[in-house]
Structure 1
Amino acid sequence: MALVTVTELLQKAEVGNYAVGAFNCNNMEIVQAIIAAAEAEKSPVIIQASQGAIKYAGLEWIVGMVKLAADKACVPVALHLDHGTSFEQCMQCIRAGFTSVMLDGSKLSLEENIELTNRVLAAARAVGVSVEAELGKIGGTEDDITVDEREAMLTDPREAKVFVERTGVDSLAVAIGTAHGQYKGEPKLDFQRLKEIRDLVKIPIVLHGSSGVPDESVQKAISLGVRKVNIDTNIREAFTYAMRRALDEKPKEIDPRKILGPAREATIELIRQKIKVFGSKGKA
């Protein structure tokens, strides 16, 4: 089936009180793994491309792979830009065929973030593309985007209300204690803050930096209004660890298929587990 928008998927998740997994891709095998896992669990799915993925694989290659995968898939698939850095990049991705973009204006002032988000919204709405924004700073590192732990700021619920009222954005990424990359310890999520945000903001909430967050914490966040859960680091771990095992077992192996094949299978299993945690199994 053709690509769908993230808004379409999250509206159904809102009604069903579950979350849709948003999984980052970097190569063909990971795209295949995301689709295979979603089909096995009969789940809708969001495939994301980050700054690093676009630089590594190329924008046209990512769009081509995901469009082909979606056309052949028997479940709904959306293609989303993760952490778009500018109006220009969002437009570039929309023109290329993305059905959803994230404008990350979290480093800007509230007024600047609202202004830039509204610019993206005006253009995206004209062509039926959904838009995610971010308020508050999520710690850690994702590709070229870094927020120092000391600078990381949790989302102010009152600012979230103002932001959504003045933009009408489709979904909102909030900072409640998660971080990008690998955690040094178990993350402690501020559920009270999430509840306050949700009470004031009646749109789908997005949880970034979810790799490494305990399943029970993710599920509690979903019960409090999170409808999109981002997973990147866990995919990198599953993929690369499986590659290493394959090479450790056969250090003289030179067939890429016998190295990347097991990595793809490990990634499928990881994503299937995440889909079950998010509650989207059987929702396609």
Structure 2
Amino acid sequence: MALVPMSQILNKAQAEGYAVGGFNMNNLESLQAIIETAEEERSPVIVQLSEGALRYVGIDYATACVKAAADKATIPVALHLDHGSSFEKIIECIRYGFSSVMIDGSKLPFEENIALVQKVVEAARVVGVSVEAELGKIGGTEDDHTVDEREALMTNPDEAKEFVERTGVDALAIAIGTAHGPYKGKPELDFERLEKIRNLVNVPLVLHGASGVYDEDIKKAISLGICKININTDFQQVFTAKVREILNNDEKVYDPRKILGPAKDAMKEKVREKIRLLGSNNRV
């Protein structure tokens, strides 16, 4: 089927009390792992590309591959820009056929963030593209730059309410204690803050930096209203671990298919694990 807006996927998840994965692709094998497993699990899925991944793969190649996969799929698939940095990048992705975009103005002052998101929402609405925004800073590493965890700011519930009302955004990423990249210890999520935000905000809520968060915390976050959970690092780690294992065990192997094929299969099992954890399996 053709790509669908992310809001179509998330509104159903919110109504039925589960979450859908925002799964990042970084090459062809990772895309195949995501789509094939979602099909097998009968799960809707949001395929995400960061700006770094777009530079690596190429926006034309990336969008063509995801569209081809979605056209063959029998599950809802959204193509989403993860952490869009500018209005210009948002427009470029919309023109290439993304069905969803995230504009990340979280590092801007509150009013500037609102103004930027309003501008994006106005443009995206015309063509039926969903918009995700972020309020509060997520610690850790995003692509090529680092957000100092000591400066990471939690989302203010009252500001979240005002932000959503004034922007008309389709989904809101909130900061409640997660971080991008690998964790050095156990992440401590502020569930009380999440509950307050959920009671004030009626759009689907998004949790970034979920790789490494304990399963019981993921389940609790979903029970308190998280509808989309972003995962990238977990997939990269299992993919790379399999590549390293193959190369270490056979120094003569040179066929990329014999290296990347098993890595894709390893990633598929991690995707399957996450889909079942989020409760999106058998929802199609």
**TM-score, normalization: structure 1?**
0.99
Alignment-derived partner of residue 136 in structure 2: 136
Q: Deviations over 1:124-160 (max 9, x none)?
A: 0000000000000000002124210111000010110
Alignment-derived partner of residue 281 in structure 2: 281
Query: Per the alignment, in what secondary structure is the counterpart of residue 91 of structure 1?
Result: helix
- Unmatched 5+ stretches in structure 2: none
Query: Per the alignment, in what secondary structure is the counterpart of residue 150 of structure 1?
Result: helix
> In the alignment, is the contact (CA less than 8 A) between 1:39 and 1:73 conserved in 2?
yes
Note if 1:79 corresponds to 2:70: no
Note if 1:30 corresponds to 2:30: yes
Q: How many residues are paired up?
A: 284
- Quote how far apart the aligned CAs of 1:165 are: 1.0
Query: Per the alignment, in what secondary structure is the counterpart of residue 212 of structure 1?
Result: coil
Question: What code does the residue aligned with 2:50 have?
Answer: S
Query: Per the alignment, in what secondary structure is the counterpart of residue 10 of structure 1?
Result: helix
Q: CA RMSD in A?
A: 0.6
Alignment-derived partner of residue 264 in structure 1: 264
Q: Deviations over 1:201-248 (max 9, x none)?
A: 111000000000011101100011100000000010011001111111
Alignment-derived partner of residue 57 in structure 1: 57
Question: What code does the residue aligned with 2:267 have?
Answer: T
Alignment-derived partner of residue 247 in structure 2: 247
CA distance in 1, matches of 2:43, 2:169: 25
- Quote how far apart the aligned CAs of 1:252 are: 1.3
Alignment-derived partner of residue 194 in structure 1: 194
Alignment-derived partner of residue 16 in structure 2: 16
User: Which runs of at least 4 in structure 1 moved beyond 2 Å after TM superposition?
Assistant: none
**TM-score, normalization: structure 2?**
0.99
- Quote how far apart the aligned CAs of 1:108 are: 0.4
Alignment-derived partner of residue 3 in structure 1: 3
Identity of paired residues, percent?
62
Alignment-derived partner of residue 204 in structure 1: 204
- Unmatched 5+ stretches in structure 1: none
CA distance in 2, matches of 1:144, 1:81: 16
> In the alignment, is the contact (CA less than 8 A) between 1:43 and 1:283 conserved in 2?
yes
> In the alignment, is the contact (CA less than 8 A) between 1:20 and 1:44 conserved in 2?
yes
Alignment-derived partner of residue 157 in structure 1: 157
> In the alignment, is the contact (CA less than 8 A) between 1:51 and 1:144 conserved in 2?
no
